[in-house]
Amino acid sequence: MRSGSRFKDWALLSAICAASALPCAAHATLGEPESSARADGEILRGSIQATDHGSYRVHEIQLPSGTLVREYSGADGSVFAVTWHGPFMPNLRQTLGRYFDEYSAAAKAAQTDRRHLRIQLDDLVVQASGHMRAFSGRAYLPHAIPGGVSVEDLN
């Protein structure tokens, strides 16, 4: 039974890593200017809606694939978090931008359960879960979250 659990852990990690290389998802980039959010809607042919929450703004992009991507930007105009929910994982290489290599190295070394992955580094946190056709997750920069905003607000 233990070897079956290891296989499932390995399968989840492999699926997440493989999905991160697919070109089918969001072009939001963590740590980059929020102006990328407006371009994302056009590039992806998805509908985009922005909502102001005082100390931060949320850009929601509904992709044709059914996945909803939310980009969170602070008062300084940079994206401090990205979340996703839907049938497909976003392209994590594009979504995480310059943080992807750190994520990738940490993901390979991570201990995961069957359906969850959590990477917590000093400057990056990535949480992902799901199974075929039902993925969700978030990536954020802990040091860039505006004051008064909780990680639980990022959903």
Q: What pLDDT, in 10s, does the model give residues 107-149? A: 888 876 768 899 999 999 999 998 888 999 999 999 999 999 9
Q: What integer best gives the mean pLDDT of the chain?
A: 80
The mean per-residue pLDDT over the stretch 35-52 comes to: 68
**Structural domain count of the chain:** 1
Asked if residue 20 has pLDDT above 50, the reply is no
pTM listed for this prediction:
0.76
- Higher pLDDT pick, 39 / 110: 110
Range of the domain at 75: 2-153
Asked if residue 106 has pLDDT above 70, the reply is yes
Q: What 3-state class would DSSP assign to 2?
A: helix
CA angle 4/127/18 to nearest 5° reads: 60
The mean per-residue pLDDT over the stretch 63-84 comes to: 91
**What does the CA dihedral 14, 73, 134, 111 come to, rounded to 10 degrees?**
40
Asked if residue 18 has pLDDT above 50, the reply is no
The pLDDT, as a whole number, for residue 44 is: 58
